[in-house]
Amino acid sequence: MMTRKKSKKVIALLTDFGIHDHYVGTMKGVILSIAPDARIVDISHDVEPQNVLEAGYLLWASYRYFPSGTIFVSVVDPGVGSSRRIIAIQTEHYTFIAPENGLLDYIISEEEIKDAVRIDSRSPSAIQKFFWNTPSGLTQISSTFHGRDVFAPLAAHLSCGVSLKELGAPATLKIAKSIFTAPDSSTDQARVIHVDHFGNLITSIRADDKQKSFDKTFCIIGRKRIARWIHFYNEAPSNTPCLIVGSSGLIEIVVRGKSAARLLSAHAGMNIHFRKNTSR
């Protein structure tokens, strides 16, 4: 067990584990057994199971509101136990740890990466020094629960002063193409990237604060044409899908008091199209 200074950093967790089972609590137990002073924050554990892109959006939408120095641990990991690597990256203000499966693409496409390493979780000798002390000890890494056996201890040790370079081999990352587009650009690749708790459809269309002509564009989703723009939810007519700029700066399709996803039979991943309104 490595001896490190006490942790005063925030460790933010994002998973698809849900809260019915013991998984999230166990991860927190591991973190606190290594870094008893760590402050653990839950971003969400209700990511759709194995939905990497949804997890990437939720991380992107939330990370900038955390204090500098926060360590983000994202475990949505369809490839757990396989040859997939773990990636850890350092930006000016934050550290991110996630499976190397595209989950961090939102971050990589917009943040300047100061440092990055890849971690081979199938090699116990590579991370043996980052295991934690428990009454029974840890003799091997589970092939199904890397959140407990790899991600949690690595995050805890980082919070106690371990440097990123101690975790793995230096990595050169391919800069991810921006996932977002603008309303006045070619948007054939635009789509719904998340359906929130209220049934609002969050799109990959990024609104420019200087945009003054939203009313000159409309959206097509499925066979439905949506052209009504609103500034706040209560402005919308009843049972009428409307367009609004949401809190993340992305255009959303909403229905006042109801689920737009249900009304439009829409889902995450669904293609959408924005068009200019040429009618007079």
**pLDDT tens figures, 19-50:** 999 999 999 999 998 899 999 999 999 999 99
Do 138 and 131 contact (CB within 8 A), yes or no?
Answer: yes
Q: What is the pLDDT of residue 172?
A: 86
Which residues lie across from 195 on neighbouring strands? 201
Which residues lie across from 40 on neighbouring strands? 11
Q: Give yes or no for residue 193 having a pLDDT over 80.
A: yes
Quick one: pLDDT band at residue 212, thresholds 50, 70, 90? very low
Do 76 and 103 contact (CB within 8 A), yes or no?
Answer: yes
For a pLDDT cut of 70, what percent of the chain falls above it?
83
The structure's pTM equals 0.87
Q: What domains sit in the chain, N to C, each tagged with a CATH number?
A: 10-170 (3.40.50.10790), 192-276 (2.40.30.90)
Do 272 and 192 contact (CB within 8 A), yes or no?
Answer: yes
As a whole number of angstroms, the distance between CA 16 and CA 9 comes to 23
Quick one: pLDDT band at residue 52, thresholds 50, 70, 90? very high
> E-strand spans in the chain?
10-15, 39-44, 71-75, 86-90, 95-99, 115-119, 169-170, 192-195, 201-206, 217-221, 224-226, 242-245, 250-254, 272-276
Identity of residue 224: K
Residue 51, SS3 per DSSP: coil
